[in-house]
Protein backbone atom coordinates (compact mmCIF):
# COMPACT_ATOMS: atom_id res chain seq x y z
CA UNK A 1 0.00 0.00 0.00
CA UNK A 2 1.28 3.44 -0.91
CA UNK A 3 0.61 6.08 1.70
CA UNK A 4 1.03 9.62 0.42
CA UNK A 5 0.91 12.94 2.14
CA UNK A 6 -2.58 13.58 0.75
CA UNK A 7 -3.91 10.14 1.69
CA UNK A 8 -6.71 10.16 4.23
CA UNK A 9 -6.49 8.07 7.38
CA UNK A 10 -9.42 7.18 9.62
CA UNK A 11 -10.24 4.60 12.29
CA UNK A 12 -12.02 1.47 11.17
CA UNK A 13 -15.66 1.49 12.28
CA UNK A 14 -17.01 -0.91 14.88
CA UNK A 15 -13.86 -1.31 16.96
CA UNK A 16 -14.01 -1.60 20.74
CA UNK A 17 -11.48 0.32 22.80
CA UNK A 18 -10.37 0.58 26.41
CA UNK A 19 -7.87 3.13 27.76
CA UNK A 20 -5.01 1.94 29.96
CA UNK A 21 -3.49 5.11 31.38
CA UNK A 22 -2.03 6.92 28.34
CA UNK A 23 -2.20 3.82 26.19
CA UNK A 24 -5.12 2.04 24.59
CA UNK A 25 -6.25 -1.51 23.85
CA UNK A 26 -8.33 -2.11 20.74
CA UNK A 27 -10.46 -5.15 19.96
CA UNK A 28 -11.34 -5.72 16.35
CA UNK A 29 -14.34 -8.09 16.51
CA UNK A 30 -14.23 -8.74 12.78
CA UNK A 31 -10.73 -10.20 13.05
CA UNK A 32 -11.04 -11.40 16.64
CA UNK A 33 -7.74 -9.78 17.60
CA UNK A 34 -6.49 -7.30 20.16
CA UNK A 35 -4.04 -4.51 19.41
CA UNK A 36 -2.29 -2.35 22.01
CA UNK A 37 -1.07 1.14 21.19
CA UNK A 38 1.52 2.91 23.34
CA UNK A 39 1.18 6.54 24.38
CA UNK A 40 2.45 7.90 21.05
CA UNK A 41 0.26 5.51 19.09
CA UNK A 42 -2.64 6.66 21.26
CA UNK A 43 -2.05 10.27 20.18
CA UNK A 44 -2.27 9.20 16.54
CA UNK A 45 -5.37 7.17 17.36
CA UNK A 46 -7.07 10.17 18.95
CA UNK A 47 -6.22 12.30 15.92
CA UNK A 48 -7.80 9.92 13.41
CA UNK A 49 -11.22 9.81 15.02
CA UNK A 50 -12.22 11.86 11.97
CA UNK A 51 -10.55 11.36 8.55
CA UNK A 52 -7.24 13.24 8.41
CA UNK A 53 -4.71 13.85 5.69
CA UNK A 54 -1.31 12.33 6.40
CA UNK A 55 0.32 15.73 5.93
CA UNK A 56 -2.03 17.23 8.50
CA UNK A 57 -1.22 14.40 10.90
CA UNK A 58 2.49 15.08 10.46
CA UNK A 59 1.99 18.76 11.23
CA UNK A 60 -0.05 18.03 14.36
CA UNK A 61 2.44 15.46 15.64
CA UNK A 62 5.31 17.78 14.80
CA UNK A 63 3.80 20.42 17.07
CA UNK A 64 3.04 17.82 19.76
CA UNK A 65 6.49 16.21 19.88
CA UNK A 66 8.78 19.03 18.68
CA UNK A 67 10.20 17.22 15.66
CA UNK A 68 10.19 18.25 12.01
CA UNK A 69 7.33 16.96 9.83
CA UNK A 70 9.85 14.94 7.83
CA UNK A 71 11.16 13.22 10.95
CA UNK A 72 7.58 12.52 12.00
CA UNK A 73 6.68 11.15 8.56
CA UNK A 74 9.58 8.71 8.70
CA UNK A 75 8.06 7.09 11.78
CA UNK A 76 4.42 7.71 11.04
CA UNK A 77 4.11 6.12 7.60
CA UNK A 78 5.23 2.63 8.67
CA UNK A 79 3.01 2.94 11.73
CA UNK A 80 -0.02 3.84 9.60
CA UNK A 81 0.76 0.92 7.28
CA UNK A 82 0.84 -1.38 10.30
CA UNK A 83 -2.48 -0.03 11.57
CA UNK A 84 -3.98 -0.59 8.14
CA UNK A 85 -2.61 -4.13 8.08
CA UNK A 86 -4.20 -4.81 11.47
CA UNK A 87 -7.43 -3.33 10.04
CA UNK A 88 -7.80 -0.84 12.86
CA UNK A 89 -7.38 2.10 10.47
CA UNK A 90 -8.24 2.71 6.84
CA UNK A 91 -6.01 4.58 4.46
CA UNK A 92 -7.90 6.19 1.61
CA UNK A 93 -5.82 7.02 -1.44
CA UNK A 94 -5.45 10.68 -2.40
CA UNK A 95 -8.03 11.75 -4.99
Partner 1 sequence: MPHQALLRAARALSCDRVSAEVICVLRDADIQTILLKGPSIARWLYPRGGRGYTDTDILVRACDVGPAADVLRSLGFTDLLDGFHPLERDADLAETTFVRRAESGHGPDGLVDLHHNLPGVPAPSEALWQAFSTDAETMLIGDVEARVTSRTALGLHIVLHAAQHGFLGHTREDLSRAIAVMSADDWRGTAEMAARLGVTDILGAGLRHQGAGAKIADCLGLPRLPLADSRFWPGFAPRGSASAAEILSATTLRQKTDRIRRVLLPSPAKIRYVSSSPDRRGWSLLPSYARWWRDLARATAPAVRHARARQRLARDDSNHASPGIFSD
Return residues touching partner 1 (CB under 8 A): 13-23, 25-27, 29, 32, 34, 36, 38
Residue 57 beta carbon to partner 1: minimum distance, rounded to whole angstroms: 23
Nearer residue to partner 1 within complex by CB, 19 or 95: 19
Residue 92 beta carbon to partner 1: minimum distance, rounded to whole angstroms: 19
Distance CA(37)–CA(39), nearest Å, equals 7
Question: By C-alpha distance, which of 1, 25, 34, 30 is closest to 13?
Answer: 30
Nearer residue to partner 1 within complex by CB, 8 or 26: 26
Q: List the beta bridge partners of residue 7.
A: none
Nearer residue to partner 1 within complex by CB, 32 or 70: 32
| E runs forming strands in 29-79 | 33-37, 52-53
Amino acid sequence: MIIESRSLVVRTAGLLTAPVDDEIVILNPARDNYVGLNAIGRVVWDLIEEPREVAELCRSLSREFGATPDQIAADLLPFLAEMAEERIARVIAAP
